[in-house]
Amino acid sequence: MESRDRVPENNPPRLSSSTSNPPEKREWAELLGWSGEEAEKKIKEEMPRLWVQVVPADSLVTMDFNENRVRIYLNSSGKVARAPRVG
């Protein structure tokens, strides 16, 4: 076996995708243009552990990253203006 074919001891091979869980969703681009209420409901259905915060698109918000939070930014018509994402 050549050195490039070896798997480092601290990096074991991954299990096949059939035995592992799919990655959690981190972004909802498909919600662009939805109403804030509909978008919030959809995210809570898919990931009930998240804290969903609905804010106007031009709001000042903290810049901290919070893996338990999703912000939904709404335009002046109450529609989703940016793809909601975890953080």
For 38-70, the pLDDT digits (tens) are: 999 999 999 999 999 999 999 999 999 999 999
Adjacency order of strands within the sheet including 51-56: 51-56, 69-74, 85-86
Provide the residue range defining the domain that includes 64. 24-86
Euclidean distance between CA atoms 43 and 73, whole angstroms: 13
% of the chain exceeding 70 in pLDDT: 75
- CATH number at 66 reads 3.30.10.10
How many domains does the chain fold into?
Answer: 1
Q: Which two tokens stand for residue 49?
A: 């552990």
User: Is residue 21 within 8 Å of 38, Cβ to Cβ?
Assistant: no
Give dist(CA 84, CA 45) in Å, integer: 14
Cβ-proximal residues to 10 (8 Å cutoff; 6+ apart), any chain? none
The verdict on residue 31 lying in a domain is: yes
Domain membership of residue 3 (yes or no) is no
What pTM was estimated for this model as a whole? 0.73
